[in-house]
Structures are given as structure tokens and as C-alpha cells.
């Protein structure tokens, strides 16, 4: 990103799906348009204000999906959930993720959430570090999984 470029956050639109697919492919090395079309559609129906993209240098350089929900995992209070974060590798470290998170946290506060949660694989130190830099701390919720 150029040094005089500003990051702008806006609501994700269906025309952004291709950009999200491109960013995901850069990160994962997998081309998954069907996955993102379905996933983005879900979040745009549930909470369109929590489906965000970051614009830098005139293009989509990151995205974040989340929602406020209650009653999950025995947590009755409205809780903000950050479900997905993707930042174009060429723009990582430039404040894109932070700008997305700040916009998402504002939205969660406006929706009455008092807590925000996310899940991070313990092998993803960079993502854990990012959320730690925002003030997230390990939770008492423990994930359990079973292979079928």
C-alpha cells in the first residue's frame, strides 16, 4: 500500500465476492468461490453491518465477517463473534486488520454486545498475536473436536 494511502472500511457487497475469493486464494492457495458465495450470503442476511471490507489503494485489501448472537455455548448475553478475517498478504502489517476490527467492535457495541469472541487455531501465532494486540485474552471456553 502506498504511504499516503488511507484504509476505508465499508459494508461488503455481493460485487466484492470475487475480491474475497482472490484474497482467500492468496492466503490458502485454494480457489473456493462457492464457499465464499455461500458464506458471505449467510452473513449478509444475518447481519449485513458485520460483513465488512477494507479498501486501500482503491481496491479491496481485506474483509471481516461476524455477527451478534446470544444463547450459544450457554452464553445468554448478546455476544459479538468475529468469524472470519482475511487480509491480502501484500497489505498485511499495514493496519488493515486493525481498521476492520475497530469498525466491527463499534458495530458490536452499537448492537448491545458486552463481549466479543473469536476462535483461533493454536498453531496460528500471528493471528493470536493480532487479536492479543487488540486486547483479546484467552477465554475459559475450550474447544472440543472429534474426527468422524
Are 67 and 50 in contact, with CB atoms under 8 Å apart? Answer: yes
Q: Is residue 138 part of a domain?
A: no
Q: In the structure grid, which three cell numbers stand for residue 12, read together?
A: 461488503
Q: Is residue 2 part of a domain?
A: no
pTM recorded for the entire structure = 0.90
Any alpha helices (H) in the chain, and if so which ranges?
Answer: 17-28, 33-46, 96-110, 125-133
Q: Is residue 54 part of a domain?
A: yes
Question: Strand pairing partners for 136?
Answer: none
Q: Is residue 146 part of a domain?
A: no
Q: Is residue 3 part of a domain?
A: no
Which residue segment(s) compose the domain that 92 sits in? 8-133
Q: What is the CATH number of the domain that holds 80?
A: 3.40.630.30
Residue pLDDT tens, the chain, 148 long = 544 469 999 999 999 999 999 999 999 999 999 999 999 999 999 999 999 999 999 999 999 999 998 877 676 788 899 999 999 999 999 999 999 999 999 999 999 999 999 999 889 899 999 999 999 998 888 888 899 9
Q: Is residue 13 part of a domain?
A: yes
Measured CA to CA, the distance from residue 52 to residue 80 in angstroms comes to 14
The structural domain count of the chain equals 1
Q: In the structure grid, which three cell numbers stand for residue 116, read together?
A: 466479543
Q: Is residue 68 part of a domain?
A: yes
Are 101 and 87 in contact, with CB atoms under 8 Å apart? Answer: no
Q: Is residue 1 part of a domain?
A: no
Amino acid at each position: 500500500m502506498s504511504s499516503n494511502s488511507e484504509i476505508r472500511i465499508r459494508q461488503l457487497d455481493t460485487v466484492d465476492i470475487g475480491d474475497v475469493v482472490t484474497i482467500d486464494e492468496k492466503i490458502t492457495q485454494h480457489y473456493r468461490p462457492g464457499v465464499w458465495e455461500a458464506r458471505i450470503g449467510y452473513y449478509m442476511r444475518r447481519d449485513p453491518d458485520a460483513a465488512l471490507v477494507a479498501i486501500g489503494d482503491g481496491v479491496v485489501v481485506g474483509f471481516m465477517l461476524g455477527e451478534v448472537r446470544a444463547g450459544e455455548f450457554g452464553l445468554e448475553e448478546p455476544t459479538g463473534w468475529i468469524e472470519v478475517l482475511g487480509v491480502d498478504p501484500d497489505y498485511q502489517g499495514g493496519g488493515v486488520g486493525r481498521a476492520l476490527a475497530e469498525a466491527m467492535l463499534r458495530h458490536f457495541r452499537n448492537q448491545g454486545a458486552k463481549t466479543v469472541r473469536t476462535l483461533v487455531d493454536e498453531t496460528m501465532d500471528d493471528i493470536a498475536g493480532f487479536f492479543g494486540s487488540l486486547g483479546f485474552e484467552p477465554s475459559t471456553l475450550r474447544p472440543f473436536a472429534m474426527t468422524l
